[in-house]
């Protein structure tokens, strides 16, 4: 997908080299919150490349899949209700906005792919695919990994619909 826009550079994070994960990935480990190291370990377990990480104290990273899709992981609901770390993970991939994208094509894409949210920022000219993962009461690290896979696997079908390229709609 040559239309991919790597927003990672625009996020102004100094130093693209990712620090080594503080802990190894353990698919069976149950977590109720995640840290920067957890996100990095999950990306590495997928065989993907960490392109950028957040500043110290931030739970954010940009990664690239084996097929060149740059995606972002943001920790959300961080350090609330006495729980250290982030109790949610926002998983996003952003692309340059195709000319054929409209509110109608976005509605069609969202109707066809309920597992993700497809939105557009018409001012910033970006098409955004999002999956939000809540960690309340605990999930395995494998579950977080699979939520990333869900988003990445759906983009190929959802993109042409959102871009107005799907003639079958």
CA 150 to chain centre: 10
Give the integer Cα–Cα distance in Å for 106 and 118.
Answer: 6
Say yes or no to pLDDT of 131 above 80.
Answer: yes
Residue whose entry in the numeric block shows the structure tokens 């550079």: 9
Give the integer Cα–Cα distance in Å for 107 and 153.
Answer: 19
CB 1 within 8 A of CB 162: no
In a domain, 1, yes or no: no
**Start-to-end Cα distance in the chain:** 21
Reported as a single tens digit per residue, the pLDDT across 62-117 is 999 999 999 999 999 999 999 999 999 999 999 999 999 999 999 999 999 999 99
pLDDT for 24: 82
Domain that holds residue 52: 7-11+28-162
In a domain, 69, yes or no: yes
Query: What are the helix (H) ranges across the chain?
Result: 36-45, 103-112, 141-162
In a domain, 53, yes or no: yes
In a domain, 19, yes or no: no
- Give the pLDDT band (50/70/90) at residue 23: low
Total domains present in the chain: 1
pLDDT for 17: 35
Give the pTM.
0.83
- The residue among 117, 130, 135 whose CA lies nearest residue 38 is 135
Kindly report the CATH number assigned to the domain that includes residue 152: 3.30.1460.10
- The residue among 8, 140, 113 whose CA lies nearest residue 70 is 8
pLDDT for 12: 30
């Amino acid at each position: 997908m040559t239309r991919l826009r790597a927003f990672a550079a625009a996020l102004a994070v100094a130093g693209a080299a990712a620090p080594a994960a503080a802990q190894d990935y353990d698919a069976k480990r149950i977590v109720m919150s995640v840290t920067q190291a957890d996100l990095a370990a999950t990306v590495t377990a997928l065989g993907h490349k960490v392109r950028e990480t957040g500043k110290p104290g931030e739970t954010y990273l940009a990664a690239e899949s084996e097929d060149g899709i740059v995606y972002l992981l943001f920790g959300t609901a961080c350090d609330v209700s006495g729980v250290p770390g982030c109790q949610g993970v926002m998983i996003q991939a952003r692309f340059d906005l195709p000319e054929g994208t409209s509110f109608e094509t976005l509605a069609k894409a969202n109707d066809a792919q309920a597992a993700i949210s497809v939105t557009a920022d018409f001012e910033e000219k970006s098409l955004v695919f999002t999956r939000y993962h809540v960690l309340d009461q605990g999930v395995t690290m494998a579950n977080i990994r699979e939520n990333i896979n869900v988003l990445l696997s759906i983009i190929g079908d959802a993109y042409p619909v959102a871009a107005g390229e799907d003639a079958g709609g």
